[in-house]
Amino acid sequence: MFSFFNGKRQTKKNMKKEQNSSDQPNSNTKYPGYIDNTLSTNIDIIRKRTGNSSDIVFRSLKIGRNPEIKTAVVYVKGMVDSQSVNDFLIEPMMNNPALQEKIIPQEVLTIITEEVVALGGVKPVNDWDELFGSLMSGNTIIFIDGVSEALIASTQGGERRSIQESTTYVSVRGPKEAFTESIETNIAMVRRIINNPDLWIESMKLGKMTKTDVSVMYINEIADKEIVKEVHKRLKRIDLDGILESGYIEQLIEDQTLTTFPTLYHTDRPDAVAGNLLEGRIAIFVNGTPFVLLGPAVFIQFFQSVEDYYERYDIATAVRFLRIFIFFISLIGPAVYIAITTFHQEMIPTQLAIIIAAQRESVPFPAFVEALIMEITFEILREAGVRMPKAVGSTISIVGALVIGQAAIQAGIVSPAMVIVVSITAIASFATPSYAVAISARLIRFLFMISAATFGFYGLILALIMLLVHLCSLRSFGVPYMSPIAPFIPGEAGDTFVRKPVWAYKERPRLIATENLIREGKDQRPQPPANRQIDNQNQNIKKGDQNET
């Protein structure tokens, strides 16, 4: 049935495409496929194609003696590094002695390439499509009258955000730098961490209109070749107008779309990317966003933070437990409160039951409605807080604090106990290290509240079981989402709820890096000196040697 629908839809699309393509040749016929040998024609073609856009700079130059040869330098303002265009391209072309002699146009290209232009990448081009592609991505084009070829000089540059601290994944200990919007910078930042030729990068341009640079990065010896192939296959499938953020790609290549849980990990920290590459994962860089995708992702990964590995293991383990506890609070906090106060009052200590009963005495709504009101109020505040212009932010927090904290209680709409529950849940939902999982927990929380309000703890447990079944059914590039817990892999359980000492990480995750599993040498565990006596003797010798009197 599925394929039947697909087929039908595709034919429709194809029809549209054909219509489109029958339209397009009209605009295409404005210029031929290859570069003309007269300069003015070429410049006219560019003018027409770009609709006389004002940010395209045409700079005419004359080189050679008897006859002078007309040339033109074309680039897009703001996209190029204007200093290198001026100093290493225009200036040498005007002043270089090699161009002041009598030359024939056919030789100009080689002379410019070999003697004049002091830039890293210069190559000839005769195809308009390629020419426009590189012009629009910030390269400079040199046209020479009488030559049906042009030169592309790589002058990409322009203003960009500099490397700054991460604001989404903050850590106390560890590198502070975060990715920027520039893909070259981002790739270089990872290369700076992993100085190894085995760090492989494959690039492609995605998006019909945007032609966004997308790079796939992995460590050749470690990453599973099948998964690399699969990533390629899925990326190649993408046929969209534009890729504006890595989120587009995430949604297009994930295994399962009917889930609130993220099946690809994203981060803006180079050290997180490096760590995941070393575990055999594959990184997808997208130009224009600091967020890099990592796959295959597993559920427990969203509770790990890079800092876990920088701290000592006992502390990191305690923090892991705390995070999972926090996740459960943010998932079932209000649901448990609803279940207890509407179904299982006998479970509350008498004193507390009396206090809650007294608080709820004046509240006209059932606990579920009360919880729903508070939760929605909180969601409104949160959303407003995120989207508001910063200048208005303090207003929101004051109004929010008054509305939630005080007025709602005094008006008798909600009870103080409910405010506590909702506040703790709200704080808990922000304490999860991964925002992606926190959002999905926030959404599922409402389902839990409904099930708790209809069936009490029984419904709550049932919903938890269904959630577990759902989580176990998820895959990320074929890797079970709940691994290494389900399926249970004893060797890797040390990086789930507990974080074992760094010297005990003997193997890489075997479902992700399928071959080349050995990660560290033997006897990595540090030990005190085997024989203290020898140590003391050494110290004595040192004492004698040094002028200790």
Q: Where along the sequence are the contacts to other proteins (CB under 8 A)? A: 341-346, 350, 353-363, 366-367, 409-410, 412, 416, 453-456, 458-459, 462, 465-466, 469, 473
Supply the Cα-derived Rg of the chain in whole angstroms. 32
Q: How far is the CB of 373 from other proteins (least distance, A)?
A: 15
What crossing angle do the helices spanning 246-253 and 225-237 adopt, rounded to 10°?
Answer: 110
Give the residue with the Cβ less far from other proteins, 20 or 410: 410
Give the residue with the Cβ less far from other proteins, 159 or 361: 361
Q: How far is CA 466 from the centre of its chain?
A: 30
Distance between CA atoms of 135 and 124, rounded to whole angstroms?
13
Q: How far is the CB of 453 from other proteins (least distance, A)?
A: 8
Q: How many residues does the chain have?
A: 549
Q: How far is the CB of 417 from other proteins (least distance, A)?
A: 10
Q: How far is the CB of 253 from other proteins (least distance, A)?
A: 22
Per the rule left: phi > 0, alpha: psi between -120 and 50, beta: everything else, 280 is left
Q: How far is the CB of 359 from other proteins (least distance, A)?
A: 6
Alpha-carbon dihedral sign for residues 83, 85, 88, 93: negative
Q: How far is the CB of 346 from other proteins (least distance, A)?
A: 3
Distance between CA atoms of 312 and 68, rounded to whole angstroms?
72
Give the residue with the Cβ less far from other proteins, 157 or 366: 366
Q: How far is the CB of 362 from other proteins (least distance, A)?
A: 6
Residue 48 corresponds to which tokens in the numbers above? 């027409």
Q: Which of 212, 187, 182 is nearest to 201 (CA)?
A: 187
Give the residue with the Cβ less far from other proteins, 418 or 438: 418
Q: How far is the CB of 374 from other proteins (least distance, A)?
A: 16
Strand partners of residue 73: 59, 142
Q: How far is the CB of 360 from other proteins (least distance, A)?
A: 5
Q: Which of 262, 222, 118 is nearest to 515 (CA)?
A: 222
Give the residue with the Cβ less far from other proteins, 54 or 410: 410
Give the residue with the Cβ less far from other proteins, 15 or 357: 357
Give the residue with the Cβ less far from other proteins, 39 or 367: 367
Distance between CA atoms of 306 and 318, rounded to whole angstroms?
15
Give the residue with the Cβ less far from other proteins, 361 or 548: 361
Strand partners of residue 294: 265, 283
Give the residue with the Cβ less far from other proteins, 294 or 356: 356
Q: How far is the CB of 464 from other proteins (least distance, A)?
A: 12
Instruction: Please report, in angstroms and rounded to a whole number, the separation of the first and last CA atoms in the chain.
Output: 94
Residue 548 corresponds to which tokens in the numbers above? 């200790």
Q: Render 156-200 in DSSP notation, one character per residue.
A: B----PPP-B-SSS--SSS--B---S-HHHHHHHHHHHS--TTEE
Give the residue with the Cβ less far from other proteins, 400 or 416: 416
Distance between CA atoms of 328 and 464, rounded to whole angstroms?
10
Q: How far is the CB of 416 from other proteins (least distance, A)?
A: 7
Q: Render 249-276 in DSSP notation, one character per residue.
A: HHHHH-S-SS-SS-SSEEES-HHHHHHH
For the sheet with 199-206, list strands across it.
Answer: 199-206, 212-219, 282-286, 292-295, 265-267
Cβ(145)–Cβ(183) below 8 Å: no
Q: How far is the CB of 393 from other proteins (least distance, A)?
A: 32
Distance between CA atoms of 67 and 88, rounded to whole angstroms?
25
Q: Which of 190, 209, 208 is nearest to 200 (CA)?
A: 190
- The residue written with tokens 């290198």 in the block is 84
Q: Which of 331, 353, 328, 350 is nearest to 342 (CA)?
A: 353
Give the residue with the Cβ less far from other proteins, 241 or 361: 361
Give the residue with the Cβ less far from other proteins, 6 or 473: 473
Give the residue with the Cβ less far from other proteins, 258 or 386: 258
Distance between CA atoms of 280 and 221, rounded to whole angstroms?
9
Q: Which residue blocks in 347-485 are alpha helix, DSSP H?
A: 350-360, 367-387, 390-400, 408-410, 416-431, 435-473
Contacts for 67 with CB less than 8 Å, ≥ 6 apart = none
Q: How far is the CB of 409 from other proteins (least distance, A)?
A: 8
